[in-house]
Amino acid sequence: MGKNTLTITDNRTGKTYEIPIAYGTYPTYGAYIKTADLRQIRVSDDDFGLMGYDPSFGNTASCRSAITFIDGERGILRYRGYPIEQLAERSTYLETAYLILYGELPTRQELDAWTAEVTHHTLIHESIKKFLDGFHHDAHPMGMLIGTVGALSTFYPEAKEIHDAATRRKQIVRLIAKTPTIAAFAYRHMRGLPYAYPDNDLSYTGNFLNMLFKTTELKYAPDPVLERALEVLFILHADHEQNCSSTAMRTIGSSHADPYSALAGAAGGLYGPLHGGANEQVLRMLQQIGSKDRVPAYIKRVKDGEVLLMGFGHRVYKNYDPRATIIKKIADQVFQVTGTNPLLDIALELERIALQEDYFITRRLYPNVDFYSGIIYQAMGFPVEMFPVLFAVPRTSGWMAQWEEMLTDPEQRISRPRQVYTGADVRDYVPMEQRGGARVA
């Protein structure tokens, strides 16, 4: 291989520039130039210099990160180097969260201490219960989660000490411990049920099921298959590098806001139907289609550009989403306990037809994580409104890891993109009486 540089000739001036090329872990997946190096390319002394224009960050790395690796061409997802398939098979959510946050799989002692720490922070302040009570009975639980997580910043003002490693760690533990409690309480509020307090004898997902579904029994016993299925779903959703919500987490965190405010913003990003809100929309779409024989008509509407096929497509994955493959497998195990979900047949038919159609093949659109997760959640008894919440709870560990990495990265400053201004040139203020008729629709 030749020199690790890029030579650029500016044909406006005839000048040539040599810019360094750098790499991440893999030379063939992560070679980059610093766009700041383009600024030296100018036509005159008062020229600001060349910028990169990349709406929606389609080809711009906003950070160097050691947390999650995705190769979208080959359908690879790894946390800290470990393949997602192995973690889904052998790990637990809390162990994976530790790995994502601290970079290594914990020893037995570390895992026990971590589990105990998280378990002992699951309770929320009684005032937060009152805060939740204030929501209307039909409030969407994701809105309740976002609002309540944001409100936590008022309970933990020391969280503002974002430069103190021990304080940061405390908030990380609190958030991983308390998001399931808030999520479950939001669900109980929605259902008009009394809140069920955490049970420290249970696993992270077992306790979550307890807080959601406990009724009059003295001790809730989670079904082990459902408890494990939720564990796997949580592992799959734990992190996904620089997606919309992690970018929101990093961007808000870069202004040195407290982590609760930043996480509320990240969860807001997740809520949208193009990101974590897609799982809810997949179910609504399947319900709207209603039966297998109506699938071709729906596919036609997608091809005509009237609607999106929710749960299909991804900015990065262009062959398959490895999370969707794992989810499809656990669906069978869940359905053995819950009975099958009649919407599954419609989903399978949608996938079968879509994968044969030119529209989807040429655009490289495949089922993503959200296509089958909702069908499982529904079979487990969750209402559709809870689906984005079930994405947000495990993503908390990823958001916190991204936040921690951003704050401790000396190359990171406040997030502040440039723009290409396309508006009016300077002009003088026009008095009201000289402005003529309406010019703005």
Catalytic positions are 275, 314, 370
What span, in angstroms and rounded, lies between the C-alpha atoms of 396 and 391?
9
Could you tell me the smallest distance in angstroms from the CB atom of residue 308 to ligand CMC?
A: 4
Q: At what angle do helices 387-407 and 224-237 cross, to 10 degrees?
A: 40
Spell out, one character per residue from 249 to 278, where the chain touches ligand CMC: x when CB under 6 A holds, - when not: -------------------------xxx-x
Using the rule CB under 6 A, is 370 a contact of ligand CMC? Answer: yes
Q: How far apart are the first and last CA of the chain?
A: 57
Which 224-253 positions form the footprint of ligand CMC (CB under 6 A)?
240, 243
Q: Which of 98, 91, 102 is nearest to 176 (CA)?
A: 98
Helix (H, G, I), strand (E, B) or coil at 197: coil
Does 369 participate in binding ligand CMC (rule CB under 6 A)? Answer: yes
In one-letter notation, the amino acid at residue 86 is Q
Question: By the 8 A CB rule, do 349 and 257 touch?
Answer: no
- 344 C-beta neighbours (distance < 10 Å), count: 19
| For ligand CMC, the closer CB: 310 or 375 | 310
DSSP state of 291: S
- In this chain, which of 313, 388, 394, 398 binds ligand CMC, going by CB under 6 A? 313
- HEC sequence for 419-435: CCCCCCCCCCCCCHHHC
**Binding test (CB under 6 A) with ligand CMC, winner from 311, 322, 374, 388:** 311
Applying CB under 6 A, does 309 fall inside the site for ligand CMC?
yes
Q: Smallest distance from the beta carbon of 74 to ligand CMC, in angstroms?
A: 17
Closest separation between CB of residue 406 and ligand CMC, Å? Answer: 19
Query: What are the beta bridge partners of residue 20?
Result: 5
Between 174 and 240, whose beta carbon lies closer to ligand CMC?
Answer: 240
16: phi then psi, degrees, rounded to nearest 5: -115, 140
Q: Which is nearer to ligand CMC, 222 or 276 (CB)?
A: 276
368: contact with ligand CMC by CB under 6 A: yes
Give me the phi and psi of 250, to 5 degrees please: -65, -40
Q: How far is the CB of 311 from ligand CMC (least distance, A)?
A: 5
196 vs 248, beta carbon nearer ligand CMC: 248
Please tell me whether residue 302 binds ligand CMC under the rule CB under 6 A. yes
Residue 214 touches ligand CMC, criterion: CB under 6 A: no
- Spatial neighbors of 415 by CB under 8 A, at least 6 apart, are 62, 250, 251, 254, 255
Pattern 372-391, binding to ligand CMC, x per CB under 6 A?
A: --------------------
Helical axes 165-191 vs 204-213, angle rounded to 10°: 30
Does 366 bind ligand CMC (CB under 6 A)? Our answer is no
* Nearest CB to ligand CMC, comparing residues 26 and 57: 57
How far CA 314 is from CA of 179, 279, 345, 348, 369, in Å, comes to 27, 14, 23, 19, 10
- Is 301 a residue that touches ligand CMC (CB under 6 A)? no
363 lies in the site for ligand CMC, by CB under 6 A: yes
Contacts to ligand CMC by CB under 6 A: 240, 243, 274-276, 278, 302, 308-315, 363, 365, 368-370
